[in-house]
Chains A and B, each alone.
Chain A
Amino acid sequence: MFKNIPVKEGLYVCYRYNLVELYGLYGGSSPIHALLRPKSAAERRLTVEREERIWFGVLIVVFLVFNAITLSPLVPWQKWLLWSQPAPDRRISIEIANYEFNLPPQGIEVKAGELVEFVATSRDVTYGFGVFRSDGTMVFQMQVVPGYENSIIWKFDVSGTYDVRSTEYSGPRHPEMLVEDAIQVIP
């Protein structure tokens, strides 16, 4: 059995090298209560210290800069997902049911640079529709909510083949939901 090291009676300290003494636990006036309660009317008013104003200014600047950059076309797809509502050049329907993607039987072949609208529907549970490069990195994705037409417009820049994978858990067979080389992008 380990030996206990009792602390001085009546004195509640966190550690011997700590500064705080907490005594008078239930009742009496203890320093802990003086430390934690505002006393004067001035302390109850909303007063802002100078450093807090400066810091608040810094936070506002970070907020503005980060949001301005990420909402701008510096994030390329914001051009057609947020700022304009372009009419797509092509529309491709995908139906998902029982863990399977039903893609167009002739395959999906799109030209680099054209605006393609992917419309995905689910006949049972929620899935995801994600497009991946062959090195595993993600191009884009959306959720496929049953009972709705879920659509996203995309413009491929680079020609090649792309995989389709479900990006939402739909049951234990979820990892099987991969269609390799599902999309062919030609120059």
Chain B
Amino acid sequence: MERIGWQEKWTLRYAVAGLVFLAMSGFEGILMRTQLAAPEALQGMEALLMNIRPVTHEPSPAELFYGMLTVHPIVGIYGFAYTCVMGAFYFLVPFLLKKEIRHKKLVPVNFALQVIGVLTCWMSGFFGMFNALYTLYWPLPVSYNRVPLAGSIAFTSGATIIMVNVLLFAFNLFSTVLSKSNPHSYSFGQFLLAAFGIPRLLRWLGLKKDDGPNPNYEELPVFIVAVGRGSIDTVINAIVLLSAGALILVYGLSALFKVPLDSGAVDALVYKNWFWWGLDMVADGNVLIYTAGVWYLLIPLLVNRKLYGESVVRTVILVDLLVSLGVWSHHLLGDRVQPLVMRLLSGQFITWGEFFTMGLTIFASLMTIWLARPVKLTPALKFVLGSIFGFIIGGTAGLIQANIGLNVVFHNTQWVIGPHAHMLLLVGLGMLLFAVIYALVPMLTKLEIRSQRLADIHFWTWLVGALTMTYAMGLAGSRGMLRRMLYENALYQPYMQVALVGGLLIAVGFVVFLVNVVSTLGWVNVLSLVVPERWLTPRSGLRET
């Protein structure tokens, strides 16, 4: 019988839920890949599923495809990535601060709301055929001759639950950091100043004297600083998406009660700017800053050396926050009505700010490993290196399309979603979260990862699969293949067939990973995460201490 803390057990539950969502999102991905490679392949399965779908007419293959495409990123990002991040931070933040979570009751509440919110969104696509995509460009989500009304209401309700939950989580994180449960407590003002790096900047500019050797709020581990700063993006993102969701929900409910509102009352371009400003806080905000923070945490732990260039790193996280507030126009480079100065400054030049911040972040990370030689290439460290590789490739692809000249032929192509988005998500972020799981499982449970060989197979199949898939998509994109498009002719089918092989390799890697983790923990221990302790025999399962 293994004894395990309450928080550790909840972190494992978050990880399990996150992995289930990754499996769902991946399964949808494979289905869509199959449809792109062989358009008729899913007909048999769809005919069976139609028996349980409460829709009035039989949906077309396009409606099914776009329904899946709408929920695929929600399940992948808010289901897999956010849930895993929540679980990991709920363990790491109190652990590193030597404090308890401020509002412990919120831990299970956050878990439940995240699962309910994501599943509601998923069901709006699967059962309700909601198909406005995550971009929700105004007025498509309120054009009820194109998207189903019930699906629209269900989707925005699910998204609202997720966003409120994200705000609750951020509130709990900030409360934990700021709580006065030990001598090293900070006021909210002090923390905000530190989060924005103001005292540091003032000292650098010679406007403030050194505080001396007294321990102060700047002694927070750099990971905590990154979590704090990234969470500012997380909060802005949630508030903006909440406002957009509320707007769509109001229109939906008005239509439901037969008093439809005029969609022309909202300016499509202003909405698009507002929406992307908030949405981009995920892609170019908290993902980058949280990722940097996790590298800064894991690498010193895995190679047993202090982080190289920590002083610059702390400043870089501040700059990253400022950059993330100003980059959204790179999503509007195809909009000729977006002012040129916005496209050039916000769309192109500020986006290059990420080249500098991530460039310095990656340099500090690699230098730390280099200077710590000889190091053992443990699975966690391998996956950290994989995630750095993913950010280099995916970030470079992003800079190519976030260019007012090149975007003319790259906008909305498979290039954007392949070598940029999926490279970042599957290799950059995905491998980082695997690294966290490989590192945290032994820390949480005192059990070693069972098989080094399986971890290696997981590493290579995942990496080669993702590279194959995104490279094929990128080639198709550079040949003019659009994203979000079902082609009737076979123009791009060879590329899509190669991409499907890549997708299947990724799936093999994921299954190998699951086998390894389950055999590490043991079935009974995994079961003990989801069933009450009294159902298990006294000698089995992960027991709470």
Q: Are the CB atoms of A167 and B412 closer together than 8 Å? A: yes
Q: Are the CB atoms of A15 and B442 closer together than 8 Å? A: yes
Q: Are the CB atoms of A18 and B378 closer together than 8 Å? A: yes
* Stretch with Cβ within 8 A of A (4 or more), from B9-17, B243-251, B276-284, B444-452: B444-452
Q: Are the CB atoms of A126 and B268 closer together than 8 Å? A: yes
Interface check B457, CB cutoff 8 A: no
Instruction: Name the residue on A nearest B399 (C-beta).
Output: A66
Which B residues between 402 and 452 are near A, CB-CB below 8 angstroms?
A: 403-406, 408-409, 411-413, 438-439, 442-443, 446-450
Chain B residues with Cβ under 8 A from A52's Cβ? 309, 312, 360, 363-364
Query: Interface size of A by Cβ–Cβ distance < 8 Å?
Result: 84
Q: Report how far A7 CA is from B444 CA in the complex, Å.
A: 11
Interface check B20, CB cutoff 8 A: no
Chain B residues with Cβ under 8 A from A169's Cβ? 66, 133, 135, 137, 140, 484
Q: Are the CB atoms of A2 and B519 closer together than 8 Å? A: yes
Q: Report how far A39 CA is from B363 CA in the complex, Å.
A: 23
Q: Report how far A7 CA is from B321 CA in the complex, Å.
A: 40
Instruction: Name the residue on A nearest B404 (C-beta).
Output: A82
Q: Report how far A181 CA is from B205 CA in the complex, Å.
A: 62
Chain A residues with Cβ under 8 A from B408's Cβ? 77, 81, 140-141
Chain B residues with Cβ under 8 A from A106's Cβ? none
Q: Are the CB atoms of A36 and B221 closer together than 8 Å? A: yes
Interface check B254, CB cutoff 8 A: no
Q: Are the CB atoms of A35 and B304 closer together than 8 Å? A: yes
Chain A residues with Cβ under 8 A from B308's Cβ? 49
Chain A residues with Cβ under 8 A from B399's Cβ? 66
Beyond A49-B308, A125-B137, A145-B269, whether A75 also contacts B211 by CB under 8 A is: no
Q: Are the CB atoms of B360 and A147 closer together than 8 Å? A: no
Q: Report how far A165 CA is from B486 CA in the complex, Å.
A: 12
* Stretch with Cβ within 8 A of A (4 or more), from B115-123, B152-160, B330-338: B330-338
CB A99 to nearest CB in B, in angstroms, measures 9
Contact with A along B110-147 (1 / 0, CB 8 A): 00000000000000000000010101011110010011
CB A15 to nearest CB in B, in angstroms, measures 5
Instruction: Name the residue on A nearest B315 (C-beta).
Output: A46
CB A167 to nearest CB in B, in angstroms, measures 5
Q: Are the CB atoms of B409 and A140 closer together than 8 Å? A: yes
Q: Report how far A36 CA is from B368 CA in the complex, Å.
A: 13
Q: Are the CB atoms of A147 and B378 closer together than 8 Å? A: no
Interface check A84, CB cutoff 8 A: no
Q: Report how far A16 CA is from B312 CA in the complex, Å.
A: 33
The A/B interface has a contact count, at CB < 8 Å, of 258
Q: Are the CB atoms of B482 and A77 closer together than 8 Å? A: no
CB B448 to nearest CB in A, in angstroms, measures 5
Beyond A146-B268, A169-B66, A172-B131, whether A4 also contacts B409 by CB under 8 A is: no
Q: Are the CB atoms of A147 and B356 closer together than 8 Å? A: no
CB A67 to nearest CB in B, in angstroms, measures 7
Interface check A33, CB cutoff 8 A: yes
- List 14 additional contacts besides A35-B304, A36-B307, A49-B309; criterion CB under 8 Å: A2-B518, A13-B442, A17-B378, A20-B302, A26-B98, A33-B96, A33-B221, A67-B352, A78-B405, A125-B143, A130-B482, A136-B481, A141-B409, A150-B337
- Residues on B lying within 8 angstroms of A by beta carbon are 2, 60, 62-63, 66, 95-96, 98, 131, 133, 135, 137-140, 143, 146-147, 200, 203-204, 210-213, 218-223, 264, 267-269, 272, 297, 300-304, 306-312, 315, 332, 334-337, 340, 348-349, 352, 355-356, 359-360, 363-364, 367, 375-376, 378-380, 399, 403-406, 408-409, 411-413, 438-439, 442-443, 446-450, 479-482, 484-488, 491-492, 518-525, 540
A-B contact pairs, 24 of them (CB 8 A): A1-B522, A5-B450, A6-B2, A22-B443, A36-B221, A44-B200, A47-B311, A48-B312, A49-B308, A55-B363, A59-B356, A59-B360, A67-B349, A78-B405, A133-B480, A143-B334, A145-B337, A165-B482, A170-B140, A170-B146, A171-B143, A172-B60, A172-B62, A174-B484
Nearest 3 pairs of A and B residues by beta carbon? A171-B146, A75-B405, A36-B221
